[in-house]
Amino acid sequence: MTGVTVVGGGLAGMTAAWHIRRLGIPVRLLDAAPQLGGMAGARMIDGRVEDHGVHIFPAWYRNTLRLVDELGILGNLRECHTFHQLLPGEFPAFRSAVTPVADRLLFYYGVIDLLAQRYDDRDQSLHDFLHSRWYLTEAAIADVEHLFVASSAAESHAVSAAGFRGSIAAFARHPGRVRMPKGDLEQWFIGPFRQRLEADGVEVRTGTELLAARVADGRLSTLTVRDGAAMTEQDVDGHVVLAVPHCGVARLGPDVTGALRPPHGVAELRSRPLGALHLYLRRRLPGLPDEHVRLVGSPHALTLVDVGQVWEGHRTSLLNCVVGRVALLAEVSESAAVEILVEELMSYLPTLTWEDIEHVCYQPHSTEPFFAPGPNSSRHRPVSSTDLPNLHLAGDYCAAPPGVAGMESAVRSGLTAADSVRRALRPEAPPVPVLRIGTVGPRAARGLRTALAPLAAAVKLLASRRP
């Protein structure tokens, strides 16, 4: 193999291939699945194109939005204006906030307190941070924890407080509307991206799975791949970008993981399944907005969007639901899991009946978990360059500023992997640009925290006297 081989056709691998090819270097892109996109893509299930889940593009996804703009498909995203919250028994009345005013004020003070923390050499779980704050009420803590598990599949004890701080700072430094695709990502994002890759000369091969890798003389020397029923060993004459999940990298053995920077840390990273439930209805369900809805207090941390109102070609409701606590259903059959989740939805949406449901697509994603940075995980997240001069790394688990995960982390890692290749093969070329995600310095937040401490104490006293 000459040129560069990118193994893994998710968003990280596609981004790396795109920018490496723009350096004038031959690139081939391999993926084990029948289509590209990974967790940002879609696949055919029961004759329908189904997204991996619900995807959003916050304004601070700077590198992702720039990529979308470069592909000429920024118009494929729509702006969202409100995040709705629904309590049991209140349909069709939606709220923008659910906690009492005092609890909300204390939570905002908690945000300032979190921004005042310096997590340079230490970290803690979000759970430990929240439960160690004297001013936070149980209502405020419960609301934050439920909101987080609904979006990341990780309970608060498994979430990095430093990461949560980073995401809050990113939203604060890059305010703006959250965007969502106007249709499934295969049609509106991944499909056009693949077309541009192939038009620019990238050789795309799907259905090709990496089984093993061998190292010799300080270089990656051989890849073992399975293409259909055939298994072959291929000598590596050029460079390789590994853009597979961290568990796939760990399976390649110590010769590969020991070359990562830091070495042997990838086995410490953890991912968790984030489920998806898509309900195709026979009618337009009245009373539902066309933007995100969080079902407050939902046992399985359900959120939903009725994309049937905004996606082309739909005249009835299509409820795309995220199942944050899908792991609770691991021991039951898929049919039983669907029944449990639909009954839970009906407890919030009383106008929804079983007769309304034409088709169900349930994806527990137990074999495709979502990476959520845990406490102290930043020390284990590898950089794109390795100690093997012809091996580079990309993936949403790669080193990134605190709080940066999901699509933005994947795209960012693809850019840094492409730049690692540039330094090796085209050092005279300009660096591959990576846009910086802004943060908030702790010093200013500490001053504000001190100034507002008397107010927080007074609000906490009022909240404690509440019946």
Do 63 and 192 lie in a common domain?
Answer: yes
d(CA 365, CA 189) in angstroms, rounded, equals 21
Domain harbouring 216, CATH code: 3.50.50.60
pLDDT, residue 228, reads 83
Positive or negative torsion for Cα 127, 128, 130, 136: positive
What is the pLDDT of the chain when averaged over all its residues? 93
Predicted confidence (pLDDT) at residue 466 exceeds the cutoff of 80: no
The pLDDT > 70 percentage for the chain reads 98
My answer on whether omega of the bond before 92 falls inside 30° of 0, hence cis, is: yes
Among the listed residues 66, 168, 69, 23, the one whose alpha carbon sits nearest the alpha carbon of residue 434: 66
pLDDT, residue 449, reads 96
Predicted confidence band of residue 445 (pLDDT cuts 50, 70, 90) = very high
- The arithmetic mean of pLDDT across residues 350-365, rounded, is 97
The pLDDT > 90 percentage for the chain reads 81
65-109 tens-digit pLDDT:
999 999 999 999 999 988 999 999 999 999 988 888 999 899 899
Do 340 and 201 lie in a common domain?
Answer: no
Predicted confidence band of residue 151 (pLDDT cuts 50, 70, 90) = low
Residue 418 lies in a domain: yes
What is the token pair recorded at 216? 């010799």
Do 412 and 328 lie in a common domain?
Answer: no
Predicted confidence band of residue 467 (pLDDT cuts 50, 70, 90) = low
At which residue do the structure tokens 């007769």 appear? 355
Helix (H, G, I), strand (E, B) or coil at 420: helix
Residue 432 lies in a domain: no
Residue 434 lies in a domain: no
pLDDT, residue 2, reads 67
pLDDT, residue 140, reads 84
- The arithmetic mean of pLDDT across residues 140-160, rounded, is 78
Predicted confidence band of residue 284 (pLDDT cuts 50, 70, 90) = very high
Predicted confidence (pLDDT) at residue 157 exceeds the cutoff of 80: yes
- The arithmetic mean of pLDDT across residues 347-369, rounded, is 95
Helix (H, G, I), strand (E, B) or coil at 298: coil
Q: Which residues contact 67 (CB under 8 A, 6 or more apart)?
A: 15, 18, 411
Residue 416 lies in a domain: yes
At which residue do the structure tokens 């945000």 appear? 111
Residue 153 lies in a domain: yes
Do 347 and 209 lie in a common domain?
Answer: no
Sheet holding 275-281, edge to edge: 84-86, 293-295, 302-306, 318-323, 275-281, 357-363
pLDDT, residue 180, reads 93
pLDDT, residue 463, reads 85
Q: Which residues contact 115 (CB under 8 A, 6 or more apart)?
A: 165, 168, 169, 172, 440, 442, 445
Among 311, 330, 363, the domain boundary falls at 363
pLDDT, residue 177, reads 92
- The arithmetic mean of pLDDT across residues 23-41, rounded, is 94
Instruction: Find the helix packing angle between 11-22 and 406-425, rounded to 10°.
Output: 30
Parallel, antiparallel, or unpaired for β 370-371 and 271-272?
antiparallel
Domain that holds residue 107: 82-176+439-464
Q: Is 260 exposed, middle or buried (0-12, 13-18, 19+ CB in 10 A)?
A: buried
| Intra-chain end-to-end CA distance of the chain, in Å | 71
Helix (H, G, I), strand (E, B) or coil at 168: helix
Residue 344 lies in a domain: yes
Among 316, 345, 363, the domain boundary falls at 363
pTM for the full predicted model: 0.95
Predicted confidence (pLDDT) at residue 414 exceeds the cutoff of 60: yes
pLDDT, residue 214, reads 96
Based on the structure, what is the number of domains in the chain?
3
The residues with which 50 forms a beta bridge, in sequence order, are 43
d(CA 64, CA 81) in angstroms, rounded, equals 20
Predicted confidence (pLDDT) at residue 139 exceeds the cutoff of 90: no
pLDDT, residue 127, reads 93
pLDDT, residue 390, reads 97
Do 313 and 390 lie in a common domain?
Answer: no
pLDDT, residue 464, reads 83
Phi, psi at 135, each rounded to 5°: -95, -15
Exposure on the CB side of residue 452, measured as CA atoms within 13 A: 20
Do 352 and 234 lie in a common domain?
Answer: no
Lowest mean pLDDT among 11-20, 103-112, 136-145, 295-304: 136-145
Residue 430 lies in a domain: no
What is the enclosing helix (H) or strand (E) of 345? helix 334-348
Residue 311 lies in a domain: yes
Do 312 and 459 lie in a common domain?
Answer: no
Do 54 and 186 lie in a common domain?
Answer: yes
- The arithmetic mean of pLDDT across residues 196-200, rounded, is 97
CA angle 230, 232, 238 (to 5 degrees): 140
pLDDT, residue 97, reads 85
202-222 tens-digit pLDDT:
999 999 999 999 999 999 999
Predicted confidence (pLDDT) at residue 144 exceeds the cutoff of 90: no
pLDDT, residue 145, reads 80
Predicted confidence (pLDDT) at residue 1 exceeds the cutoff of 60: no
pLDDT, residue 153, reads 62
d(CA 226, CA 249) in angstroms, rounded, equals 16
Do 119 and 135 lie in a common domain?
Answer: yes
